[in-house]
Chain A
């Protein structure tokens, strides 16, 4: 899951990125509204974390300019917590709303719920041929036995399972699982896929040559 954090405060930006990375997200950063808007329009993100009070373009303005063309879920962060502020946030196209100071667990949970809803799933658990994926706890079990996966392997499996039945292209996977500092030309993806096949059995993930990967 790839997330863009648009936050002007450098300390908070660093802390948010670290928290989300710890939870297995691929995280990009933007230091102000203009940069954030550019990245949000150019890149592919599963969700946006958007601060309201920012120089140049504030959160509302970013949202306003982004909304017609992009329906990426947006979680707004703000220091203002009056009811009119919340209503304004939700009315102007934000999908969720958190007031500073917030609990980082809550931020992560809300972000996951947003991404899940945007993908059309409302359950946080996926059952597939004896394989159980718990998105809240980021764990995979087969018949009650936990399978140890790295964060990247888990993210890859989760993405394929959420989009099961569809062919997911390599560039899609790069866009959603890796942040802008990773080199998309490397063969990291192949390594992760082969590791997953070793741990889960080779029949689960099918390769469509020239198209991508698929779980059917």
Chain B
């Protein structure tokens, strides 16, 4: 809100004000125009009516001298023509104006002037303005008729082809004043309407923007570290609610990722701290001279230290491998390698342990070429086959099979060991999750990362890893690797 005209509210307000102003101005202008046209039409009709009455009256009044106008005896000619002839004969000047003024009250502001074709004024009322402009005479053009303004007067102007030109006018300053008052009142109410509209628009824009401000405030609180806060929804499914939902969903996912990361770091440090404690405590113990020690004591202590160091090495290696899997985009680097060769190596590595536990390791390994990193693949299979053997109670068998699926190679590791309980099954691929900690801990070098690592590696080459297990009967792990 530092630069007010940058804000949405101000911009909405500016456009709203502009459009409203234009609409009001157009409306008032039209209303003003219509009202004036209407009023002028009325004035004009009135003027024309009075003009006709005036001409008739003047003509008739001068009719008292029929001897001079002998041509108009039997046949009636139009009033203007008759008037013109009478005017030319010049007998009706003086009396008219006087009679005119006192005769009718409605025409006390009416004035008139008549002229011939050359512009000579034949008759003019006393209240007529000094300068009267007669229309130019047009020969043979029939009658010319015009309404015009002359100062504050409205004039009806006629020009006849027989020579008469007349101007009859009316002072309409009262009407003009009324017109001005009407204009002012229109402008006043227009401005009032505009201001009211502006206020309403400002309120409306503010109301529309308030949820956005609330969203931005909440979002900035979340950005400051309060990750559990969420934007509250109004429940109306408006556009802003949709935006809020999208944002909340984003925050949820961010929070979950952060939480996962935090948990992973805590677990990793926990896994590292225990062997570190053993190393520290054993080395400290052996350094003390005052207690006599046998060589067996030293031997045992060194074994403990070595085991601890090995655990740390395995853990660090797994962590590094996992981190590399996480940062590598899927489907990078790979060479053509034979699944059978990789599996045979893994099996020969685990064979001694299997034999010592009385477990038969059976394998069906037809040659199958796939494109992958053989070192990473062997990490996967070492983990799967190693797990099957290590978690086996002893006396049984572990089978490794390679099968060709359409467009995929499937490696199955089947054991008849103790199985995995349904509540553990969904979580065995979680990092640092252990089905039975006390047991796996007795085998030094178990980090709890093996299956997580296997999953990450397989998924990185576009494959997937599945597990099915029945408690007491055994488990089957399936690794599906895409061909080529």
Contact = CB atoms under 8 A, between A and B. Distances in A.
A104 interface: yes
A12 B278 contact: yes
Contacts of A9: 274, 278, 441
Chain B at the A interface: SS class: helix
B308 interface: yes
A98 to B, nearest CB: 10
A55 B437 contact: yes
Nearest to A22: B291
Contacts of B270: 53, 79-80, 100
A10 B442 CA distance: 7
Interface string A42-60: 0000000000011110000
A18 B304 CA distance: 12
A15 B274 contact: no
Interface in B263-304: 266, 269-270, 273-282, 284-285, 288, 291, 301, 304
A103 interface: yes
A56 B291 CA distance: 37
Interface string A2-42: 00000011111011101100100000000110000000000
Given A79-B270, A79-B273, A80-B270, A15 B285 contact: yes
Nearest to B303: A11
A8 B437 contact: yes
Contacts of A104: 280-281, 284-285
Q: What class of interface size applies to chain A in its complex with B?
A: 20 to 34
B277 A22 contact: no
A165 interface: no
A101 interface: yes
A103 B279 CA distance: 11
A16 B308 CA distance: 14
A102 interface: yes
Contacts of B278: 9, 11-12, 15
Given A15-B304, A18-B285, A104-B284, A55 B438 contact: yes
Interface residues of B, number: 28
Contacts of A64: none
B444 interface: yes
A105 interface: yes
Contacts of B269: 79
Contacts of A32: 438
Given A8-B437, A53-B270, A80-B270, A103 B284 contact: yes
A101 B285 contact: no
Nearest to A16: B281
A31 B438 contact: yes
Interface string B110-136: 000000000000000000000000000
B207 to A, nearest CB: 43
Nearest to A105: B284
A103 B304 CA distance: 17
B307 interface: yes
Contacts of B277: 12, 15, 100-102
A141 B291 CA distance: 20
Given A11-B308, A100-B274, 20 more contacts: A8-B438, A8-B441, A9-B274, A9-B441, A10-B441, A10-B442, A11-B274, A11-B307, A11-B444, A12-B277, A12-B278, A15-B277, A15-B278, A15-B304, A55-B436, A55-B438, A79-B270, A80-B270, A104-B280, A107-B281
12 contacts: A9-B278, A10-B442, A11-B308, A15-B277, A15-B281, A15-B285, A22-B285, A55-B438, A79-B269, A100-B274, A101-B276, A103-B280
The 7 tightest CB contacts between A and B, nearest first, are A79-B270, A100-B273, A55-B437, A101-B277, A79-B273, A104-B281, A101-B276
